Amino acid sequence: MSSRLEVVALPLPPHLRNRLLAAGFSTVADLERVGGPVGLARETGLSPEEAHEVLQLAGAAGGPAALGSDWRAGTVSAAELLASAAATPRIVTMCRELDDLLDGGVHAGQVTEFCGVPGVGKTQLGMQLAINVQLPQALLGVEGQAVYIDTEGSFMAERCADIAESAVRHVHTMADRHAAMGRTDLQQQLRGGERPFSLEGLLRGIYLFRVHDHVEQLGLVHLLPRFLEQYRGVRLVVIDSVTFHFRQDFPDMAQRTRVVTGMAQQLISLAQTYNVAVVLMNQVTTKVLEGGGSKLVPALGESWGHAASTRVMLTWGPDNERHAQLVKSPHLPPGDAAYAVTSDGVRGLPRRR
């Protein structure tokens, strides 16, 4: 085939095709000039893996010659992908056991879903992450901002202020400890930053959106790329809860499946394109098993099953303890971690003597 083949004719997922067209790539010939996946990723905002996929498909369509004589020059090795994953920023939860379960915390560039019954702590965890994404880099934090999308009216500013006050106390205590050991970098950072690490500063670092139906939610998700282009400091997007309006407003199940699948693709693309952590809080429903019995499963079932790369079930365990069970991950084994919701926010369980 000719290198004049148009990008729209390639068998690409819609979000990849749209990114290429938006960046000005209309034909396979345009891909010859990028110097491989690294160059394509740089020009389009795609991840190296996505850029590699695009060039592979373009090569299959037009032959290796369609990608130029140096078509292998920018390929990404498995070792480079591993190093990139290790360098991916994490947002801690303030519970060491839960952070260990998630390999250091919630990962940027991925979609992570927390599912659970009412009262198990989903909203508390969402607010905790919205505060923790702002932790200073001197404490291995991301030092970013958060978008919080509230679909149920469960976001409480007073409760978020409690969590923020605890974070301020913790960070300033750590700064004093560092200074006592002769390390004043954290204190200087807290004093000299553009946005002070204070209660008001933390609350201003959360952009809160309240959506009242699925139409508003879909519209907001569609506009998020434009918002992130303008507010480059945002490193976390929380939707609490992501499926609430879709459980109520869709008598047509086929239409619902199409809509939520499209939204899932947009959120995956958002996480990868802007290297933000997308955190979805989801409800659960009871599934009756063949042969009797039942179990709790995430809402929307199989139609929503591929939205998140990482899925954590939040449950109640023995002695009324909260547990986080990692049930899906591209690189981590299943596991379980106990956590608590205290007046200060999400924490580990007190150590037993």
pLDDT in tens, 164-179: 999 999 998 888 888 8
Least trusted range by pLDDT, from 64-68, 331-335, 339-343: 64-68
Q: Which two structure tokens, joined as six digits, stand for 204?
A: 């201003």
Q: Which of 39, 66, 81 is the endpoint of a domain?
A: 81
State whether 60 and 102 are in the same domain. Answer: no
State whether 114 and 57 are in the same domain. Answer: no
Q: What is the pLDDT of residue 159?
A: 98
pLDDT in tens, 188-241: 777 766 667 899 999 999 999 999 999 999 999 999 999 999 999 999 999 999
Q: Which of 32, 56, 81 is the endpoint of a domain?
A: 81
- Relative to beta strand 234-240, strand 145-150 is parallel
- Residue 180 structural domain: 88-347
| Helix or strand holding residue 295 (H, E) | strand 294-298
| Helix or strand holding residue 212 (H, E) | none
Counted domains in the chain? 2
Q: What is the DSSP letter of 32?
A: G
Q: What is the pLDDT of residue 353?
A: 55
d(CA 235, CA 252) in angstroms, rounded, equals 35
Q: Is 234 helix (H, G, I), strand (E, B) or coil?
A: strand
Q: What is the DSSP letter of 194?
A: S
Question: Which carries the bigger pLDDT value, residue 181 or residue 234?
Answer: 234
Of the pLDDT bands very low, low, confident and very high (cuts 50, 70, 90), residue 187 is confident
State whether 73 and 130 are in the same domain. Answer: no
Of the pLDDT bands very low, low, confident and very high (cuts 50, 70, 90), residue 139 is confident
Q: Is 135 helix (H, G, I), strand (E, B) or coil?
A: coil
State whether 186 and 314 are in the same domain. Answer: yes
Q: What is the mean pLDDT of residues 274-297?
A: 87
What does 52-85 look like in DSSP terms, one character per residue? HHHHHHHHHHH-GGGG-TTTTTT---HHHHHHHH
pLDDT(271) > 90: yes
State whether 186 and 74 are in the same domain. Answer: no
Q: What is the pLDDT of residue 87?
A: 67
State whether 201 and 340 are in the same domain. Answer: yes
CB atoms within 10 A of CB 68: 17
In sequence order, the 6+-apart residues with CB closer than 8 A to the CB of 81 are 48, 49
Cα 162 to Cα 53, 202, 289: the distances in Å are: 45, 11, 42
Question: Which carries the bigger pLDDT value, residue 84 or residue 291?
Answer: 291
pLDDT in tens, 57-81: 777 655 444 444 444 544 556 666 5
Q: What is the pLDDT of residue 32?
A: 72
In angstroms, how far is the first alpha carbon of the chain from the final one?
72
- The proportion of the chain whose per-residue pLDDT surpasses 90, expressed as a percent, equals 50
State whether 76 and 170 are in the same domain. Answer: no
- Tell me whether residue 202 is in a domain: yes
Q: Is 298 exposed, middle or buried (0-12, 13-18, 19+ CB in 10 A)?
A: buried
- Measured over the CA atoms of residue 216, residue 222, residue 227 and residue 228, the dihedral's sign is positive
